[in-house]
Structure 1
Amino acid sequence: MNFGRVSDLNFTFDAAFFGSEEAETTTRAHNDLPLISVVVPVFNTEKYLKKCLESVRAQTYEHLQIILVDDGSSDASGDICDSYQRLDGRFVVIHQENRGLSAARNAGTAIADGTYVAYVDSDDYVAPGFISVLYDAIMTTRADIAAIPAPVVFSDGEEISLWDDFGAAATTPRVQRVPSVAYQERLLYQRYANGAQFRLYLTDIMKEHLFPEGLLYEDMATIYRVIRAVDSVAVVNAPSLYAYRSNPIGITQMKYTRKKMNSILHVTRTMKEDIVDWYPELEKACASRCFASLRAVYAQVPAECVYDSESLWLELQSYSDYVIRDKSARRRERIAAVISNAGRACFDMFCRCCRLLGLMR
């Protein structure tokens, strides 16, 4: 593992470059604000990486430690990371063998020196105010985490606009302090996006709740545990702070493998056990989330994988009655649960139709 130079973690300002007054003002402004770490896991994203890193570099909150974790890329991604470390002293680069998204995030979290930490995927990008707005929300509410409800989702070739200016000409985003139990419920019912990228966290909390290595669905396995560790979350009604690329090779859309089945069974069973133990009142909400995740994986299983299909089907059935009776569950889950009670043939046809229509999320 190759870490950036220790000096890369500190900020030095050349008075001859900035002008002595500007250098003094900038240094004083940074000293008044906590360091915030931004962890960017990188794997074979040379096509998108520069746009991502430029968006992080352009943050209006400048007192950043930007940690790039090159997770064994075989394209030019690693070289791009190194070029940004040479360009901007706030960047720190780790090169490691390919170990997966969780290991890359954990490696970045381990060396994060900031009071707070955020995660940005290397094929996504963020608005200039992403960090500053979330940090201000934490300061306003005294929460340990700030979050957006969901990102702006886009595909390759699609033009989208993010919030470039939160000044007088922009609408000030509404901030709501949501108790952790209520936030947990909204996550389980998928009213809030679950991805780790859509929040700013107290770093100490993330160091205590690392992402599980060797599993898929790492966000689903981790975020509910992180939320339990805090009293509340500051929710900022500003989805246009984060642009999330709908990636055809992402976990939810990549080709089915048995690792998907093993991961989702482990994650849903563990989550159900934890949620029922910690929040008995959220059992129905947890059943809805587990059913939705199992349904999405079941729909991807090829016909020849009989054991996998049967295992997921039996697991689905254990949640269907909960979902049917739960009026708070998403409409698509209740419909899917009703159809599942009509038998596998009907449910398989329903899944094929949803997959064709892009409704399997």
Structure 2
Amino acid sequence: MIDSGMVSVIIPVWNVEQFLDACLESVALQTYNNIEVIMVDDGSTDRSTEICRSWEKKDGRFILIRKYNEGPSIARNVGFDNAKGDYIAFVDGDDIIHVEYIETLVDIVKRKKVYSISGVDYIRFGDFDIITTAHKWDMTEFHHYLPEDALRKLLYQNDFICSAPWGKLFSREVIEGIRFKEGIIYEDLEWMVRVLEKMPKSKRIGLCNAPLYYYRKRNGSLMETFSGHRLDVLDITRDIEDKAIASADLRLVKAARDRRLSANFDIYMQLWKYIRQSKAEKDDTDSCGYNNQLVSCWTQIKRLRMGSLINPNVRRKNKLGILLSFLGPTVCGWVGSRIISILKK
């Protein structure tokens, strides 16, 4: 086992009593021992606080910080403010990690000459799936990127570069001073773009395809329910496109426009379904504003779709959505929302 400095594992916790013990146990069992585990209790009202206290008492590496409920962005910022490690890893309180997760991330940084960010692939699983965190695995695929290449991959949503802060190890110096934006969702995309933009151009990012992070997909979680905050991604991707245009980097502009198209397409489908359900239930509470937003999303889809359709870097899923959009807004909304419903089952 390599020991190359302390890793601070930051875990935002909010009302995850059903899953928290499994998460913390998977962190405690890491083969890489030089860690501190910062549990930021974001005002939980269930037994999450009690579970955190229990781990703090039985394992000296675990530290509990309690605060009022302000959301995962501020919880992560508070965790980083209190972290002492040379490297930072984020784990969500309802997820779990393989026993070799941190050791592998550190190994990539040191042995592959990657000094800034390392990452692994992840597996989605449901509440009732059985997951083993000690399975055998092979690193059959390894990639390393310069920051500008990684940023384009992130925007195209290609390979296994995702915008989430979990699944990665960050050198402290790389993310120092880059805080998660407060009061929005999709804050991870906005944050990750800023991290890659500010990285020294000579540094590299290393990723392997080993599935060592287990992301729990929960019904009713913050990212599974519709609210007006989901529209935040439209502002975020608009700003990303604007900055790309200002940079005069044509390759980045194409990637940014495809990410904006993807965001507008996703929100269009969700709004279309939400508005139909509201009308069926005779609840027109926000229908006027959401109808206007639906039209705005469709306008952006029409503006951006041809550029992505002829772009060889755009993933197949996006191109299928583009082809569907040529059938018109009603057919696109009906078919697209049905597909989303099927995929979520």
Aligned partners of 1:320 and 1:341 also within 8 Å? no
Structure 1 residues 244 and 179: alpha-carbon distance in aligned structure 2, compared to 1, 3 A threshold: same
Report what 1:88 is aligned to: 59
Match among 225, 245, 251 for residue 281 of structure 1: 251
- Structure 1 letter corresponding to 2:270: Q
> 1: CA distance between counterparts of 2:323 and 2:207?
33
Structure 1 unaligned regions, length at least 5: 1-28
Cα distance in 1 for partners of 2:252, 2:109 equals: 26
What corresponds to 1:235 in structure 2? 207
What is the aligned length?
A: 323
CA RMSD of aligned residues (A): 2.1
8 Å contact from structure 2 (residues 38, 64) kept in 1: yes
Q: Is the 8 A contact 2:139 2:209 kept in 1?
A: no
**Larger deviation, residues 52-61 vs 154-163:** 154-163
Distance in 2 (alpha carbons) for counterparts of 1:158 and 1:41: 23
Asked whether 1:188 is paired with 2:155, we answer yes
Q: Which residue of 1 aligns with 2:69?
A: 98
- 1:176 aligned to which of 139, 143, 150: 143
Partner of residue 266 from structure 2, selected from 296, 311, 320: 296
Cα deviations across residues 167-191 of structure 1 (Å, max 9, x unaligned)? xxx6456543222222222212212
1:52 aligns with 2:23: yes
Distance 1:238 1:171, change over 3 A: closer
Partner amino acid, structure 2, of 1:245? R
The equivalent position to 2:114 in structure 1, one of 134, 137, 142, is: 142
AA partner of residue 143 (structure 1): Y
Match of residue 305 from structure 2: 320
Q: Percent identity?
A: 28
Greater shift after overlay, 186-195 or 307-316?
307-316
What SS does the corresponding residue of 1:196 show, helix, strand or coil?
Answer: coil
Q: Which residue of 2 aligns with 1:225?
A: 194
Judge which range, 199-208 or 116-125, deviates more.
199-208
Alignment partners' CA distance in 1, 2:25 and 2:134: 15
TM-score between the two structures when normalised by the length of structure 2: 0.87
DSSP 3-state at the match of 2:339: helix
Distance between the aligned counterparts of 1:36 and 1:211, measured in 2? 19
> Counterpart of 2:184?
215
Matched residue SS, 2:166 = helix
- Does the alignment pair 1:269 with 2:244? no
Instruction: Determine the structure 1 residue equivalent to 2:280.
Output: none
In the TM superposition, residue 312 of structure 1 has moved relative to its aligned partner by: 2.4
Which amino acid is 2:325 matched to?
S
TM-score normalised by length of structure 1: 0.84
Rate the CA distance shift 1:173–1:162 in 2: closer, same or farther, 3 A.
farther
Structure 2 residue aligned with 1:33: 4
Q: Does the residue aligned with 1:151 lie in a helix, a strand or coil? A: strand
Residue 257 of structure 1 and its aligned partner are, at CA, apart by 1.8
Residue 339 of structure 1: CA displacement?
2.7
8 Å CA contact 1:258, 1:308 repeated in 2: no
Any conservation in 2 of the 1:195–1:219 contact (CA below 8 Å)?
Answer: yes
Cα gap change, 1:281/1:61 in structure 2, threshold over 3 Å: closer, same or farther? same
Aligned pair in 2 of structure 1 residues 294, 155: CA closer, same or farther (>3 Å)?
Answer: same
